């Protein structure tokens, strides 16, 4: 859709207006509410297709639109990435086993605004090392978000995430990044989850983007499977991800995809 209001920075990043925050707030809340419903459905024996069917039906029931169905040929209402799948896992016949960890990523369009968020879930008893990966990944996202305020840079966000993750002896995926969004799904900038303090574009009030770090227990390298979507760790180590959609405010940022029920992390209590 052609954007007509607001302005675009030298780096090609759209600056939204005060009134636009309400659109993002509503879209973000719908996406978060759908993720809030999934905890009780995730358990050993369930297929990822069954989870996606639930999400598709819930999106329809709410009278909103899935951003992923029909996006570049993708046919599902979510991405479900299990264990060593880094992102863009395709829901299907895979049956969850005890101890599996999975990211569920949902993007909805509400009145033209995009709400994009993902969280980690566990099936049955999750091993301690997987739980620790999830905990570090969540905290890395929150540290990235804490670096968001006008005058800071995108590099400051990346540095906050990377330095925390690497201190925990885990690795940050380089091959996928966060993105601007708003009335479009993916827009400039690429939001890197690694970087140097003071590098990259300067943050300004009115920027809308996602932060969605993918963290691996082993090495950072990924590869995309023959289905052209599923990204996995090359060394088959476990991977985790959390994603929020946020907007830069005068003093910091607003998280549009907070869980109304406080279930973002931990996911299942």
* Backbone CA torsion sign across 233, 235, 236, 241: negative
Number of neighbours of residue 155 by Cβ within 10 angstroms: 19
Q: Which does 263 bind (CB under 5 to 8 A by kind): Co ion, ligand MF3, none?
A: none
Q: Which does 74 bind (CB under 5 to 8 A by kind): ligand MF3, Co ion, none?
A: ligand MF3
Q: Is 107 in the site for ligand MF3 (CB under 6 A)?
A: yes
Nearer to ligand MF3, 20 or 105 (CB): 105
Q: Which residues contact 247 (CB under 8 A, 6 or more apart)?
A: 16, 21, 24, 206, 207, 208, 253, 254, 256
Can you tell me the distance from the alpha carbon of 166 to that of 161, in angstroms, rounded to the nearest whole number? Answer: 9
Beta-bridged to residue 105, according to DSSP, are: 79, 118
- Spatial distance between the Cα atoms of 209 and 191, rounded to a whole number of angstroms: 8
**Residue 176 token pair:** 């996928």
Contacts with Co ion, 116-155, as mask; x by CB under 5 A: x-x-------------------------------------
Using CB under 5 A, count the residues that bind Co ion: 5
Q: How far is the CB of 129 from ligand MF3 (least distance, A)?
A: 25
Beta bridge partners of 245: 210
Please list the residues that pair with 116 across neighbouring strands: 107
213 binds Co ion (CB under 5 A): no
Q: Which is closer to ligand MF3, CB of 50 or CB of 224?
A: 224
Q: Give me the 84-123 binding string for Co ion, x by CB under 5 A, dash otherwise.
A: ---------------------x----------x-x-----
Binding part of the chain for ligand MF3, among 4-12, 14-22, 65-73, 148-156 by CB under 6 A, reads: 65-73
For residue 192, CA distances in Å to 37, 78, 177, 179, 201 come to 30, 22, 5, 9, 11
Query: Phi then psi for 17, rounded to 5 degrees?
Result: -95, 165
- Say how far apart CA 102 and CA 100 lie, in whole Å: 7
Q: Please tell me whether residue 212 binds ligand MF3 under the rule CB under 6 A.
A: yes
Q: Is there binding between residue 21 and ligand MF3 (CB under 6 A)? A: no
Stretch of 71-79, 125-133, 244-252, 256-264 lying at the interface with ligand MF3 (CB under 6 A): 71-79
Both tokens assigned to 28: 């973000």
Q: Residue 116 Cβ, how far from Co ion at the closest point, in Å?
A: 4
Residues 136, 54: Cα–Cα separation, whole Å:
29
Q: Taking CB under 6 A as the rule, does residue 241 contact ligand MF3?
A: no
**Is 223 or 269 the residue whose CB approaches ligand MF3 more closely?**
223
Contact set with ligand MF3 (CB under 6 A): 68, 71-72, 74, 79, 88, 105, 107, 116, 212, 229, 243
Contact set with Co ion (CB under 5 A): 105, 116, 118, 210, 243
């Amino acid at each position: 859709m052609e954007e007509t209001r607001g302005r675009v920075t030298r780096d090609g990043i759209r600056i939204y207006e005060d009134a636009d925050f309400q659109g993002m707030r509503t879209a973000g809340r719908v996406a978060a509410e759908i993720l809030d419903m999934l905890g009780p459905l995730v358990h050993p024996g369930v297929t990822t297709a069954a989870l996606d069917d639930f999400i598709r039906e819930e999106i329809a029931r709410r009278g909103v639109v899935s951003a992923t169905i029909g996006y570049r040929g993708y046919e599902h209402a979510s991405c479900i990435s299990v264990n060593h799948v880094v992102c863009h896992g395709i829901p299907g016949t895979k049956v969850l086993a005890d101890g599996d960890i999975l990211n569920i990523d949902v993007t909805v369009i509400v009145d033209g605004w995009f709400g994009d968020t993902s969280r980690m879930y566990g099936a049955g008893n999750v091993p301690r090392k997987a739980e620790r990966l999830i905990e570090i990944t969540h905290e890395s996202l929150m540290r990235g978000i804490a670096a968001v305020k006008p005058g800071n840079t995108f590099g400051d966000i990346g540095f906050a995430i990377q330095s925390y993750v690497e201190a925990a002896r885990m690795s940050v995926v380089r091959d996928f990044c966060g993105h601007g969004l708003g009335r479009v799904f993916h827009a400039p900038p690429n939001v890197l989850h690694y970087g140097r303090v003071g590098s990259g574009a300067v943050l300004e009030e009115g920027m809308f983007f996602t932060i969605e770090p993918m963290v691996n227990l082993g090495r950072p390298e990924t590869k995309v499977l023959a289905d052209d979507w599923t990204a996995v760790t090359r060394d088959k180590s476990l991977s985790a991800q959390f994603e929020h959609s946020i907007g830069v405010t005068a003093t910091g940022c607003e998280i549009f995809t907070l869980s109304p029920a406080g279930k973002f992390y931990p996911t299942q209590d």
